[in-house]
Amino acid sequence: MKGDGLDWVREVLREAEGLSRYDVGETVEDLSRRLRRDPASILKLNSNENFFVPIGFLRSILMEVVGEYDPRVYPRYEKLQLIEALSRYLNVSTGQIVLGAGSDQLIELISRAFLKPGDHTLSVTPTFSIYERCTRVHRARYEAVPLREDFSLDVDGMLNSAKPRTRIIFLCSPNNPTANQFDTDSIRSLLEGFNGLVVVDEAYVDFAGRSIIDLVDEYENLIVLRTFSKSFGIASLRLGYAVSNEELASTLDERFQMPYAVCSIALRVGLKLLDRVEVVRRAVKALKVERSRAIKLLNEIDGVRAFDSETNFILISLSVDSRMLYERLLEKGIIVRNLGRVLHLEDCIRVTVAPRPVMDKFITTFREVLTGGVD
């Protein structure tokens, strides 16, 4: 890079080297080329996507949308329509909702709005890595308090870790990768004991039994995040939303969110999915049935502990090296997420819950790889 006046740019680039990259893991395309196999034969079970929503149903909605919208026009009315539909779906006011390009973009938006260099955020470990990433991008400090051994929140530990410049607590509930939902009383304790914002990411809440979205009317420091990526099955379209009190929501939407942050296709598809939400609910119900079955079958394998889940994935603790197992599954065309150490558990993987034929193939191959039955 030429020019002495650009030293400050070089400094920013050097600082950026300390930021972690978001690892999307092995891709279907790369693995299929490496194994010289049809991509359709690869089992993609590493990214918590929802394969229970029928692909034909989603494609039919996309075809409707393509026939209806004009790509030359900015998405104005579509945004208002979706907010109104979400207001009815959630039983909150339209003024409490902020749309975003996935919940990731909303996490970044909240960080940009409320963090200054030298500020501090809190979260738990293990959890979703984007909270740390967004904190550090905005030159604030990030601290993670370990979950208890039963994966519950250490409320006292979090409150005791708060500093004068702690601005935000980020919580993923149900949590990734532990797959459990934090109890409401613990979250209430944080809301009441912390002098800052508590952002609760409910990306997986439709796979659980309850939501805390009703608490936004009770606590002015609560922001709840939701996404269409998981239960609604449209991860590639990047559509999410935040719910908070109206003052917070309007400030985020009108002062910090970029104009037209979500594309027309995503907005229109989201609206149509809410109109046909029973299809989504049936898919979620089927996923829960398969989740319970898969956990039971996995726990019948020696050296395996599959934890209960309130998400669309399963955390599995192994008695063998998780990296070795991950690599051997890749050789068989199965992609999972290698986690390694999770709290006191040394070797863990995470597996997306998929429809029964896929789960049967995974469990069979998994068992054979563990017992050395596959060359």
Residue located via tokens 């309130």: 310
Q: What is the pLDDT of residue 2?
A: 60
Mean of pLDDT values over 279-283: 98
**Among the ranges given (36-40, 167-171, 179-183), the one the predictor scored with the smallest mean pLDDT:** 36-40
Per-residue pLDDT at 1 exceeds 80: no
pLDDT band at 119 (very low <50, low <70, confident <90, very high): very high
Q: What is the pLDDT of residue 375?
A: 45
pLDDT digits (tens, 9 = 90+) for 286-324: 999 999 999 999 999 999 999 999 999 999 999 999 999
Listed by start position, the domains of the chain span: 11-53+279-371, 55-276
Which residues neighbour 256 within 8 Å (Cβ) at sequence distance 6 or greater? 109, 112, 113
Q: Would the CATH topology of 11-53+279-371 be identical to that of 55-276?
A: no
pLDDT band at 13 (very low <50, low <70, confident <90, very high): confident
For the entire predicted model, the pTM comes to 0.95
pLDDT digits (tens, 9 = 90+) for 227-251: 999 999 999 999 999 999 999 999 9
Per-residue pLDDT at 3 exceeds 70: no
Going by C-alpha positions, the residue among 287, 263, 210 that lies closest to residue 49 is: 287
Q: What is the pLDDT of residue 374?
A: 45
> Which CATH number is 55-276's, of 3.30.950.10, 2.30.30.100, 3.30.300.130, 3.40.640.10?
3.40.640.10
Q: For residue 2, what are the CA distances in angstroms to 5, 6, 11, 17, 67?
A: 9, 7, 14, 20, 49
Q: Could you give the count of Cα atoms lying within 13 Å of 148 in the half-sphere of its Cβ?
A: 11
CA 342 remoteness from chain centre: 18
Cβ atoms of 200 and 225 within 8 Å: the answer is: yes
pLDDT band at 168 (very low <50, low <70, confident <90, very high): very high
**Cis upstream peptide for 126 (omega within 30°):** yes
Q: Which fold has domain 11-53+279-371?
A: Aspartate Aminotransferase, domain 1 (3.90.1150)
Per-residue pLDDT at 57 exceeds 70: yes
**For the purposes of burial, counting CB atoms within 10 Å of the CB of 278, is it exposed (0-12), middle (13-18) or buried (19 or more)?**
exposed
